Structure 1
């Protein structure tokens, strides 16, 4: 996640019938997690066509709150918050009656900034951290790390994803169903300040990152990718484009072939505001679309995400 420049260094019956068509067109059979669950616990009230703050007082607070990731059982979620000049991770769990007060997960090293949690198909949790790779690492940057679950509340030692990381910042991860890992990076050789990349997963290993190209990446900062369905659509955040509604907007692109994406299109005013939109996320059952808007986490019925993308694509 990168937001606000460098300040924080992120139904009617007719509609129902249309949504069935949209889901068919978009091929949204598996979510960006690479797995699907139907047991997700959602709070009330729940949004429809207009986005709402997500869990005010628990997730959405009076400070910067951003991104979230539901756990595989659908009963916990992890999110980021700005605290004492750093990004820190929190987790809250539904106990059957209410959502517990958020606490730091055991693997969160509070000496460093850590954010952007997401779960992979095997249950491993990936996140970004400014912690050094080892005792010899003197470069001050964000890398992608992961931890694997051991048992209830316990995790493995944090592992640096060295095959993906560079000597520059890496941010925000999204998984395709087959394991391909999408992320943003400020590494050299890109089109702008920060570009979108994919590391393809093959034979149990991640390959060298591949830039998604100039149809998606701009001369500015393109970040926070969300891969939708079987790598058919990409949603991401980008500031300063000519069609922007504000500081940074959410955009989408359609895959044309294995190595090419369509030109990015603005998601529109249902999602974008005069402020900063970032950190897109689709719930593991595909029912709700989450994103961050300036200091808040918001959510909306995902039917309207697919509807708006389809309408804009067919203009």
Structure 2
């Protein structure tokens, strides 16, 4: 029998548990030879290449001059798209080493991000408009720019911007499609774009994947998101709690490695498994108690 393909979803026999999970679960070229080109997916030009007291004086305790706080400009919701296109072009240096890439974007489209808006506010009026982001993933940042221009992004050729509910694409055996959206999700968190986080999270749940892909995705989520981010972590743990008895046999070595490398993942999955076992035991005890109580009542009524 062929190994079953796993879709991010849960069979009908565990629907009562999965409903909760479903509600929750709602790297480029060397720059040594610069060459500009237009990326159709990103929609952006890419170029590879104190005080003193009354009695004593304490100089070290004197207050220093207050720092001048930069107030980032806010994105005006009343602006039309043409207004964005007429704003200055900002050069974005994303990545490092072989992945270091230069992207270009209109300044107004960056102001929705508080962190990018602060960097824009620090520009001199006639100076170079450049932002360096060496720690960011180039592909994910390209999807962010695509989202800023179009309010959507496509991570694969088979995905169309109008597909908001249906499962899309081919089977993701490696987990790369899941990881693309997960990288966008974590980037949106750092940039402070809640709407992009929501969109990326929704796209994750329209990916067909296998146990190998799910393990790669779970490892990324648990090593790149904060412990309190239950929006993305809880569905991962719930999925594995419900399906680990099947999935671990398809990728047992990877599953064991993940549990050892990321103890929090193992703990979360185990906690959910034990919670369900305890709930079943409690339900069984209540059911048996109800049956016994019903029997005693009928006995009394017959006397």
Range of TM-score over shorter length: under 0.3
The two structures have a TM-score, normalised by structure 1, of: 0.23
Larger Rg: 2
The two structures have a TM-score, normalised by structure 2, of: 0.23
More strand by share: 1
More helix by share: 2
